[in-house]
Amino acid sequence: MNLKKLIRHLLATVVVGIEIDNRFCYITTKFYRRSKIVEVQTRSFKTIPGELPMSAVRYINAIRFKKPFTYISSLSTSIIQGVMNTTNEDDFIKYGVNISDVESKRIDDWFVYCSKEGIAETKKQFFKIGVDFVISPFILLHSLIKDDIEDSCNLYILFQKSNITMIVARGANEVLFGAYYILESKIDLGTNAPKKRLNEDLDDDEEEPDVTNDINQELANLGDLDLENESDSDEELIEFLKDETEDSPEENTSNNYQETFDDFSRVSYAAKFIQSAIGEFYNNEIYQSDFITQIILFNPHKIDEEVLKHISNTTMLDLDIRSCNVSEALSDLGYESYKFFEKKEMV
């Protein structure tokens, strides 16, 4: 037996799902041994919208220091991405998509695509820690519905605070339409002041923050852990991480009124986008349009349901609101990707 393979199977695999949405970075970390989950960690850290906070960098590098087989999974946020109801790559041009400019993946009877530049931008966002699996939000949304998808034609929405992802699906294998909208730029979220202060700080001090020193300081805190026993170090690392501090969105009560106001604005803009997308689906001949029965909306960050009902009032469609955990779904999809590449001996 290959010695590398023998040693590899004795070591833990860790998959970290990261969602950066609005003012928080949400993380779900799953530890696997022999393909079984032995521990799940969840964390949330405050951040500037679109930025990976240093607190998250330190947390992940603390894991990676002890577990070299750690993989990062996160969402693509490119504005140039979507789905196509076709099984033929020659049809891409009908959707205005240049096949040489995108990465694509066939799923059942439809394709998902994302611009190569968009993927590069996502990787740039994670330059401090790297990202192994860039997941399409359409694939993530489909993963939330595939086990109990209905035969009727429904509009499914993943409603994050920074963006919304939509697919129209009919049955298990048919995705007829998709759309992705960024909400952040449409709403004054009160983040101009923090960004301005950050820029002023950088202008006042020409030296960039020393990321390496921050990471080394964090790793120094792990010096007492036993590196020789993999099984014991799993438990020690997990206990160490349990003691790490995190930021909770629920504890941020001072900004509750502002956040509620932002949610009203967010949902108001989203309702217009959703109505426009429905019109596009019905009226553009490229789509195999069917009557949409209802909207099924996934609400990962607990936007008030009374506020979300504005979408139902605007579209005149019934609204079914469900909860989900985006970072956990990203961790699961990341592990699926890891197993796929493992079979091909590419990880």
Q: Give the pLDDT confidence score for residue 134 in this predicted structure.
A: 97
**Strand (E) positions, 34-92?**
36-46, 70-75, 81-84
**Spatial contact of 331 and 17, defined as CB atoms under 8 Å apart:** yes
**Does residue 269 lie in a domain region?**
yes
**Does residue 17 lie in a domain region?**
no
- How many structural domains does the chain have? 1
**Does residue 224 lie in a domain region?**
no
**Does residue 15 lie in a domain region?**
no
Q: Which residue range is the domain that position 263 belongs to? A: 80-121+137-189+256-323
Q: Higher-confidence residue: 343 or 153?
A: 153
**Does residue 102 lie in a domain region?**
yes
Chain segment 52-111, per-residue pLDDT in tens: 999 999 999 999 999 999 999 999 999 999 999 999 999 999 999 999 999 999 999 999
Chain segment 315-330, per-residue pLDDT in tens: 999 999 999 999 999 9
**Spatial contact of 73 and 17, defined as CB atoms under 8 Å apart:** yes
**Does residue 275 lie in a domain region?**
yes
**Does residue 68 lie in a domain region?**
no
- The model's confidence at residue 195, banded by pLDDT at 50, 70 and 90, is very low
CATH number at residue 170: 3.30.420.40
Cβ neighbours for 340, distance < 8 A, ≥ 6 positions apart: none
**Does residue 106 lie in a domain region?**
yes
The model scores a pTM over 0.85: no
